[in-house]
Amino acid sequence: PAAELRRTTLPAAMSVATTDSSGGAGIPVDLKTMMACGVFAECCVCAITAQNTKGVTHIEELSPVAIRKQIDAVFDDIPPQAVKIGMVPSIEGITAVADALEANKAVNIVVDPVMVATSGAKLINDDAIATLTSRLFPMATLITPNLPETRVLLETIGSDLVPESEDDMEQAGHLIAEHYSCNVLVKGGHGLADANDLLVRTDGATQWFYGERINNPNTHGTGCTLSSAIAANLAAGASLEQAIEQAKLYVSGALRQMLDLGSGSGPFDHAW
């Protein structure tokens, strides 16, 4: 009966990103991850992709007005305690996201600087990278580049370092954190033997997060999952270090389920 209905609260987190029709990456996996991490999941769709485990066949963007209206609507009613920003392909889209998050005083922003999919598909226009770094990095609590993205970010600040080793990651992390004044988690999984990631804070403090490599060829959506789990954990009140540590445990646990769907690099199991 209605009289027994009790209103409970739950921290909320929001994904500002792009859909993946196959459910393994982007907004669908962000929402699955946030719910699995115990927070209420909200989203702003910036673009859609037609894609499956074999590749991306179409990308279509929403208008800046549609982006603004989604973010305003969410903040007007159930404001999230953390926001994850993923794939936003264009200057116009990134500008709309930045303007909306600024106007709504968003906090705990985790930026996954998504550039290229594992399948090779380009997920951001070349001319939009400067807008990503100039508008979104200053508002970020954390940015989470993988090694190929770290290399692109190094190029934007005039460094020709090709990060491959843990020493390179230390150097890269300091250069990026200093230049862009934001905390950076350099993710080593694309180059190191294990999935070891390095946090470099704006004050120069560093911390390694170690993760054993899990021999699973189905890794579609790993980066999306990690950044949305970090955002969810921040929304639930974790410190940045705790949020990263718990997010890595979540990704490893999901990968260990050894789900094998699709004929390409498949998604992993969020219902474990």
Helix (H, G, I), strand (E, B) or coil at 249: helix
Distance CA 31, CA 25 (A): 10
Q: Which of 222, 225, 248, 266 is catalytic?
A: 222
Q: How far is the CB of 158 from ligand PLP (least distance, A)?
A: 26
Q: Is there binding between residue 224 and ligand PLP (CB under 6 A)?
A: yes
Single-letter amino acid code for the residue at 12: A
Is 270 among the residues that bind ligand PLP (CB under 6 A)?
Answer: no
One-letter amino acid at 92 equals E
Evaluate the CA torsion angle 68, 70, 76, 78 in order and state its sign: negative
223 is catalytic: yes
CB nearer ligand PLP, residue 175 or residue 267: 267
Q: Give the footprint of ligand PLP on residues 120-179 (CB under 6 A).
A: 123
114: contact with ligand PLP by CB under 6 A: yes
Per-residue tokens: 206: 């560093």
Look-up of token digits 């794939």: 87
Q: Which of 11, 23, 26, 211 binds ligand PLP (CB under 6 A)?
A: 26
Residue 12 DSSP SS3? strand
Q: What is the CB neighbour count within 10 angstroms for residue 261?
A: 16
User: Is 222 an interacting residue with respect to ligand PLP (CB under 6 A)?
Assistant: yes
Catalytic pick among 43, 46, 182, 224: 224
Q: Where does this chain bind ligand PLP (CB under 6 A)? A: 17-18, 20, 25-26, 49, 51, 86-87, 114, 117-119, 123, 220-224
